[in-house]
Structure formats: C-alpha cells, structure tokens
Amino acid sequence: MDCGSETPPVMANSARRYVSAALALWRRCESLPFGRAIFSRIICFKAPYFGSIRPRFEEFRPGFVRVSMKKRRAVTNHIGTVHAIAMCNLAELAAGTMTEITIPSGMRWLPKGMSVEYVKKAETGVEATASVGEIAEGPAREVPVSVDIRDAGGETVCRAVIAMWVSPRRT
C-alpha cells in the first residue's frame, strides 16, 4: 500500500522546503485508481483514532487541505445528524495534516487548542477545508489554522480554529 515506488522529490519549491513524507505519498497516490482512498487509509493507519470517521482526502497541498466524511450511522447523534464531535475530529484531521505539509522541515507542530462554532445541523455528509498562510522558520509560536465544514449543499455547518503550537525541531 505504498502507492508506487518512485523516489519522493527532495525540494518542494523555491523556498527550499523539503517535501514531507505525507505530501510525497499524496503525490504518488492521488492519480491512481482508488489512490485517494488508499492515501486516506494510510493516514488513518498512522493516526488510528481518525479511522472512526472514515475520512477521504480530496485535496492536499501546502496551505490547503480538503477532506470529506460521509454521513453514516457511526458518526450520527441521537437526532440523526452528523455528531458535533465527529466534525471536530474531521476539523483536527484537516488542520493537522495541512500543518504537517505546510511547515518547513526544521519545524514541528502539535495541536494546542480548538475553538468551535456549530452553525447548523449537518444532515448530509460533510467536507472540511483547512487553510493557513505561509508558516516560516522561526521561534516557537501559536499558529491559528482555520477550518470550515460544509454540508453537501455547500452550507457552512461548523467553523473551527485549531491553535497549532509550531516550534523548531530538537536537534
């Protein structure tokens, strides 16, 4: 399940960032038959808790990630809508993977907190988009990552801001 055996590219862009393993894997998988589904399963193998929502990555690039979750019984609440905490899981997954592929190779990240606004009931499957501007090398700091979760009709059902603690890797 490695989606190919080509060597991952060493440099991502003119900023001389190294391509993360996750981004290299995405680039190998995305155009293959079932590649996005395989990629999503590999991410959930690495971070098993997220497998409970069965996410599917749709777009994956530095500064932006889009990941979806189907409405199914396991992610619904007592009134039959997508559970708020399932949407929080989706938001954290989108924000975390996006941060992973956006930060410079000399930096690391950890989610520090989350603020969430539930806008309306999610009665269909949902899609989360996480975005952030460039994250430069530098001292340890908090970086807010915005996540918007929309239903199948394109209506926002949930908004989250994940506070990511970004710091230099220990050498």
Q: Give me the mean pLDDT over the 105-116 stretch.
A: 95
CA distance 156 to 123: 12
Instruction: Tell me the β-bridge partners of 129.
Output: 66, 148
Amino acid at 25: L
**For residue 13, is pLDDT > 70?**
no
**For residue range 61-106, what is the model confidence (pLDDT) as tens digits?**
999 999 999 999 999 999 999 999 999 999 999 999 999 999 998 9
CA distance 133 to 127: 20
Give the pLDDT band (50/70/90) at residue 5: very low
Q: Does domain 21-168 have CATH number 3.10.129.10?
A: yes
Q: Indicate the DSSP class of residue 81.
A: S
Nearest to 88 by CA among 52, 132, 34: 52
CB 94 within 8 A of CB 79: no
CB 63 within 8 A of CB 133: yes
CA distance 124 to 40: 20
**Per-residue confidence (pLDDT) for residue 171, from 0 to 100:** 77
CA distance 163 to 96: 10
Query: Three-state SS string across 36-74, please?
Result: HHHHHHHHHHHCHHHHHHCCEEEEEECCEEEEEECCCHH
Q: Judge if pTM exceeds 0.85.
A: yes
Q: Label the pairing between strands 107-118 and 56-61.
A: unpaired
